[in-house]
Amino acid sequence: MRRTEKLISKMKEMVGEAHLLKDSDRLKSFRIDGKRPKVVIYPATTEEVSKIVAYAFDQTLTIIPMGNGTKIEIGNIPKKVDILLSTQRLNRITDCDCDNLTLTAESGITLREVQKRLAKEGRGYFIPMDPPFTEKATLGGIVATNSSGPRRYMYGTARDLVIGTKAVFPNGDIVVSGGKTVKNVSGYDMSKLLIGSYGTLGILCEMTFKLLPIPEKEATLLIPFVRLEDGDAFVQEIIGSQLLPSSIETLNRSAVRRLNHPVSLPREANYLIAIGLDGVGESIEREISELTERGKKYQSLDPWVLHSEEHQSFWSALRDFAGSLKEGRTSFLSFKSNVLISKGGEVMKSYEEMINQRGMEGAFISRSGNGILYSYLFPGRNLRSKMESLIELIQKLTSEAVKNEGNMIVETAPSILKKRISVWGETRPEYQVMRRLKEQIDPKGIFSPGRFLGGI
Amino acid sequence: MNREQMIEELSKIVGKENVLYSETDLLLYGYDASLFKAKPDCIVLPGSTEEVSQIVKFARRESVPVVARGSGTNLSGGTIPAKGGIVLHFSRMNRILEIDIKNQRAVVEPGLFTLTLKNQLARYGYVYQPDPASERVSTFGGNFGENSGGPHCLKYGVTTNHILGAEVVLPDGEAIWVGGKALDHPGYDLTGLLVGSEGTLGIATKLVLRIVPKPEAVKTMLAIYNSLEDAGRTVSAIIAEGIVPATLEMLDKLTIKAVEESIHAGFPLDAEAVLLIEIDGLKDGMERLAERIIEICKENHAREVKAARTEEERAQLWAGRKGAFGAVARLRPNYLVCDGTVPRTKLPEVLTRVMEVGKKYNLPIANVFHAGDGNLHPLILFDERNEEELRKVHLAGSEILKICADAGGTISGEHGIGTEKKKEMLFVFTPKDISAMRKVKRAFDPEDIFNPGKVLPEVQI
């Protein structure tokens, strides 16, 4: 107890009493897998973060960084949570250089806010990322979890779009990598190491992103199919063609039904393929007609097109699928599988069968151009009684992904289930190197201990 | 262990014919495209991952450095065996293992030439986007080690954006896979960390590359200017218009002269600068975009804009750019190429200051660079037999990098740090940054076997 008091008084000195939470009632709502932090602290500058971390390092106290917490549930149950470090006050855009097509901002600002600002600059710009939790996701959280959305098909992910980082390492050092230039091979690419490292190596404080001008025009083509095999063959043809959609998504009926959007499938259809298009006006019209023609070869039903508002709201419903399920208080588990691009359809089919065989409902959203499949499983009531069957199912789903040269992450699951499964999928030999990196960079194991794969 | 024993042991692994150690060989594999030289103990040509693994295990046991090498086109002394040891030359591991169109991946060995793969891909209508100027001979192992760039990086990103996985031999001799054909493997992005690590962390023995269908249409234009500043302003104006071309390359007067004398690309000799502009993508709207670009060039005082009408004309324009380094080499016995990169908006002012450095040291500077992404390549011409010039050229090079760093840029955009720019690392990094990188090195190579003495300067914390 004395240690906690000392910690709190130290933290007060560093950020001021107004910027920390210590009352046990308030702290309850910050539990991660049931583990309550001793204090939640809100530093306002990278230097403050550095001081907090240096103190924690000295005292061997554990720290978990968090933005708005939209993805904080992902990962193993933490070994210990002493300090929850909120990035919410690190919320400035530090350099908006649209002429150079770069933007630098602190980690606690939401992507939403950044995009709003960029839209107003000059002829209008954006960071070409569309990860889930549109309203709340912070830049730091997006990058730390390597979160991405449908438009990654055309624009890539954080590893393609983040060109510089400033992070606080476990010894308190402020470490800079990359910068404002799109080409940079000076030293090791530490930014790559931090992207998707889930707060286990460094606390991201500032990042530089590549920007693009907002496209002239956007639209969505929705094409229903009766059979997944047909839809998948159509998708494979598009991927191999010279057409340039910005996203290609395949949804099953359950996903369309649960989508927080008025779009619905015709009665005879079972799958919906949604193609996002952006670019110059002429190209969009031609792509719509060509895609429609190509779809007919694969027995598509009549497609339809969404423009402007409808187009925007469709994609935000799609990327916020998990978020709206949470708001609806539906109990669900969610998985992210990565597989070979050409196997996306097959894997979705086999997942669907495995889940249906067990009398459960599964909603699927496949990022078909990238081989990324998001599955949402609705186990129904009385989860405890289904535990064994869920564990077995998760193993099967994981093996199926591994068989297709990928893996599976369990993103959403109750703690009682997490304890008994491998949240990060099957461990590969490269894990040995990851562990050595963690030991070198965080020898005391104070950053998000135990949460990452293999207990890193 | 003496050298004879070493050669004997290594011969047991790869066969006698694949270990080179004559005086000539030691000279040939002791230099690259930089100004540095050193001497290895021997050169070994492995034929398989297993052999690489055994060689590395041997080297580790005997504490002998290992430097991986492709064609030696490195521009920063990255392939120089600075502390002797074994040069691993990958000319025998040069196969395309798989072209997997369905999954849009190619799997290659590290000794394969970049262009050789591209020529094969063309048969399927596919491309591998990065296009280092040396692609005719540069190897994928080298592209991986250096995170090579090229003109098309403006739109498509650099090598790291196109390498998705690798089989890597670690300094303990173990071969592991990082990443793979599928995207988003759980865990740290080791592939992303290894690309550009200049052979100091791991040696790639297989590489998984992203390949994509060739763009439907491409349009190449050449804009000719009476002033370098106007050409620079055009670059900013095109980007500000919301157009992101595939390439935006600039050549200055001295380079144009050299190129015309050797390649005859059709660049006018009296121009102060030319801009090579290429857009690609869907054919729809492309004419309109090209017309708009031509207008922007003219608004910025281009005296003439030519558009390639045929594939041949396009190839001719490109020959001028791709052959520029070679052509400049005819002007003086040697040149030092700087690789400083700045935010693209800083180009005009940085360019002016670069030319001032040339005047200060009385050394001619030719400029040929990736204007669209802010990557300068001032070529400082000199004669290495003239000791005074040799001394000055290093000072001038370092001064140019300082200018780039001070303009918010960096000291290397695509050529690497190697031996050459270690000291200048401190222009852009603090000792704490370097110390964090040092931890990465220790995690992979605690005994400093792989390409020792490169990239990271010694710092006191």
The predicted model gives A276-283 an average pLDDT of 94
pLDDT confidence bin for A264, thresholds 50/70/90:
very high
Indicate whether A203 and A115 sit together in one domain.
Answer: yes
Mark whether A70 and A149 lie in a shared domain. no
Q: For the domain that residue A45 is a member of, what is the CATH number? A: 3.30.43.10
A137 and A177 inside one domain:
yes
Residue B240 Cα, gap to closest chain A Cα (Å)? 6
Q: With CB atoms and an 8 Å threshold, state whether B184 touches A338.
A: yes
Instruction: Examine the domain organization and report whether B162 and B247 are in the same domain.
Output: no
In the structure, what pLDDT confidence band is assigned to residue B326 with cuts at 50, 70 and 90?
confident
Domain membership of residue B392 (yes or no) is yes
Q: In this model, does residue A426 exceed pLDDT 70?
A: yes
Query: Could you give the angle at the alpha carbon of A30 between the alpha carbons of A26 and A35, nearest 5°?
Result: 110
Query: In a 3-state reduction of DSSP, which class is residue B221?
Result: strand
Task: Please give, rounded to a whole number of angstroms, the shortest distance from the CA of A54 to a CA of chain B.
Answer: 14
Inform me whether the pLDDT recorded for B202 exceeds 70.
yes
Does one domain contain both A207 and A98? yes
In the prediction, which pLDDT does A383 show?
Answer: 85
Name A271's bridge partners: A225, A252
Q: What's the pLDDT at B266?
A: 84
Q: What is the CATH number of the domain that holds A103?
A: 3.30.465.10
Supply the DSSP string of A349-366, one letter for each residue: HHHHHHHHHTT-EEEEEE
Q: Where does the pLDDT of residue A329 fall: very low under 50, low under 70, confident under 90, or very high at 90 and above?
A: confident
CA B382/CA B362 separation, integer angstroms: 10
Instruction: State which H helix or E strand residue A192 sits in.
Output: helix A190-194
Residue A243 pLDDT: 97
Q: For A134-157, how does the pLDDT look when each residue is reduced to its tens digit (9 = 90+)?
A: 999 999 999 999 999 999 999 999
Q: Which residue has the tokens 């009352």?
A: A23
Q: Do B266 and B313 lie in a common domain?
A: yes
User: Of B188, B206, B421, B429, which to mutate for an interface test with A (greatest number of A Cβ within 10 Å)?
Assistant: B188
| Chain B closest-CA separation from residue A313 CA (Å) | 25
Residues B363 and B276 in one domain: no
Instruction: Provide mean pLDDT across the span B249-264.
Output: 92
Look at B343 and A102 and tell me if their CB atoms are within 8 Å: yes
Structural domain includes residue A254: yes
Helix (H) or strand (E) holding B437: helix B431-444
Name which of A187, A282, A340 is nearest B417 (Cβ-Cβ). A187
Summarised one tens digit per residue, pLDDT across range B129-171 is: 999 989 999 999 999 999 999 999 999 999 999 999 999 999 9
DSSP per position, A405-426:
T-EEEEEE--HHHHTTS-TT-S
Confidence (pTM): 0.97
What is the dihedral angle through the alpha carbons of A144, A150, A152, A158, rounded to the nearest 10 degrees? -10
Q: Please tell me the total count of domains within chain B.
A: 4
Q: Are A261 and A237 in contact (CB under 8 A)?
A: no
Residue A209 and residue A224 in one domain: no
The pLDDT assigned to A116 comes to 98
B residues 350-389 closer than 8 Å to A (CB):
370, 373-375
Query: What is the predicted pLDDT for the residue at A301?
Result: 98
Closest Cα in chain A to B283: A283
Q: Comparing C-alpha atoms, which of A418, A413, A400 is closest to residue A455?
A: A418
**A227 and A281 part of one domain:** yes
Domain of A69 in residue numbering reads as: 2-6+20-86
Q: Quick check: B292 pLDDT over 90?
A: yes
Share of chain B above pLDDT 70, in %: 100
Contact call for B147 and A434, based on CB within 8 A: no
Name the minimum distance, in Å, from the CA of B261 to any CA of chain A.
Answer: 31
Mark whether A301 and A360 lie in a shared domain. no
Pairing between β-strand B163-169 and β-strand B203-210 as defined by DSSP bridges: antiparallel
Q: What is the DSSP letter of A367?
A: E
Max intra-chain CA distance, chain B: 70
Answer whether B375 sits within 8 Å of A181, measured CB to CB: yes
pLDDT score at A1: 62
Same domain, B119 and B160: yes
By residue count, chain A amounts to: 456
For residues B281-293, give the mean pLDDT. 94
B302 and B351 together in one domain: no
- Provide the pLDDT confidence category of residue B323 given band limits of 50, 70 and 90: confident
Contacts with A, B 427-446, CB within 8 Å: 428-430, 432-437, 439-444
Q: Which residue has the higher pLDDT, B435 or A382?
A: B435
- Pairing of the two strands A174-178 and A247-252: unpaired
Please give the Cα distance from B443 to A441 (Å, whole number). 9
Question: Containing domain of residue B42, as a range?
Answer: 3-89
- The dihedrals phi and psi of B44, each to the nearest 5 degrees, come to -120, 135
What's the number of domains chain A is made of?
A: 4
Mind listing the pLDDT tens digit for each residue in A339-376?
999 999 999 999 999 999 999 999 999 999 999 999 99
Residue A110 is predicted with a pLDDT of 98
Count Cβ atoms below 10 Å from residue B81 Cβ, excluding itself: 26
* In a shared domain, residues B321 and B373: no
Inter-chain touch A185–B417, beta carbons under 8 Å: yes
Question: Poorest-confidence range of A135-139, A198-202, B342-346?
Answer: B342-346
**Tokens matching residue B367:** 């400029």
Secondary structure of residue B265 in the 3-state scheme: coil
Q: What number of CA atoms fall less than 13 Å from residue A280's CA on the CB side?
A: 16
Query: pLDDT of A42-90, one tens digit each?
Result: 999 999 999 999 999 999 999 999 999 999 999 999 999 999 999 999 9
Please check whether residue B324 is in contact with residue B259, taking contact to mean a CB–CB distance below 8 angstroms: yes
B329 touches chain A (CB under 8 A): no
- CB-closest option in B193, B343, B432 to A97: B343
Residue A254 confidence (pLDDT) above 80: yes
Q: Which of A197, A287, A342 sits opposite B188 (nearest CB)?
A: A197
Contact B374 A181 (CB under 8 A): yes
Which residues of chain A make contact with B284, given a CB cutoff of 8 A?
280, 282-283, 285-286
Among the partner residues A100, A213, A433, nearest to B444 by beta-carbon distance: A433
For the question of an ipTM over 0.90, the answer is yes
Using pLDDT thresholds of 50, 70 and 90, give the confidence band for residue A21: very high
The pLDDT tens digits of the residues spanning A92-136 come to 999 999 999 999 999 999 999 999 999 999 999 999 999 999 999
Asked if B102 and A342 come within 8 Å (Cβ–Cβ), the reply is: yes
How close is the nearest chain B Cα to the Cα of A254, in Å?
25
Higher per-residue confidence, B461 vs A42? A42
Among the residue ranges A326-330, B45-49, B98-102, B242-246, the one predicted with the least confidence is: A326-330
Average pLDDT over residues B186-214: 98
Q: Is B268 on the interface with A (CB under 8 A)?
A: no
The answer to whether residue A452 sits within a structural domain is: no
Assess contact for B193 and A189: CB atoms under 8 A: yes
Q: Both A278 and A180 in a single domain?
A: no
Chain B neighbors of A146, CB-CB under 8 A: 184, 189
pLDDT band at A222 (very low <50, low <70, confident <90, very high): very high
Q: How many helices (H) and strands (E) does chain A have?
A: 17, 19
